[in-house]
Structure 1
Amino acid sequence: MPTREQLAIAVRKTISDVLGTEIAEVQEQTSLETDYGIDSLELMEIGARLERTLNLRIEVEDLTRARTVGHAIDLLDARLAGRP
């Protein structure tokens, strides 16, 4: 299981790849909706890539509940640890 730091790097890199930004621009306090106006297709692409990278089933609700990148990382970290 990846550490939270490894998970954070994977999430930030995936988001930056999908949005076409630099990884340094995607911080834990970044709001994808407010800062980038992310749409549902981009969100689904991020989810699909993270599923492949992490070998983890990610529910749509996991992605839509996250208010910031850090919140998404925390949700995925909990999912990997088997917590709801």
Structure 2
Amino acid sequence: MPTREELALVVRSTISDVLGTEVAEVSERTSLLADYGIDSLELMEIGARLERALSLRIAVEDLTDARDVGQAIDLLTARCV
């Protein structure tokens, strides 16, 4: 099982790959909607990549309900236990 820090790096790296940004630009306080104007296709791409990377099923609602990246990481951490 990955630690929260390892999981955070996977999530931040995946988001930065999809959005075309640097990993350092994506913090736990980053709001994908407010800060990047992310659309549903980008969010689905992030979810699909995270599912492959973590071998975990992720509901789209889980990602859309997260206020920021940190909350998404917390959700995934709880699922990986």
Say yes or no: TM over 0.5: yes
Q: In structure 1, what is the equivalent of residue 17 of structure 2?
A: 17
RMSD: 0.4
Q: In structure 1, what is the equivalent of residue 68 of structure 2?
A: 68
Q: In structure 2, what is the equivalent of residue 42 of structure 1?
A: 42
TM-superposed deviation, 1:49 = 0.1
Partners of 2:64 and 2:79 in 1: how far apart?
15
Identity %: 78
Normalising to structure 1: TM-score of the pair?
0.95
Task: For CA contacts below 8 A with separation 6 or more, give which structure has more relative contact order.
Answer: 2
Q: In structure 2, what is the equivalent of residue 29 of structure 1?
A: 29
Partners of 2:16 and 2:79 in 1: how far apart?
22
Partners of 1:52 and 1:39 in 2: how far apart?
20
Q: Which runs of 5+ in 2 are unaligned?
A: none
Normalising to structure 2: TM-score of the pair?
0.98
Q: CA deviation digits over 1:1-40, x for unaligned, max 9?
A: 1000000000000000000000000000000000000000
Structure 1 residue ranges (4+ consecutive) displaced by more than 6 angstroms after TM superposition:
none
Q: Which amino acid aligns with 1:31?
A: S
Q: Which runs of 5+ in 1 are unaligned?
A: none
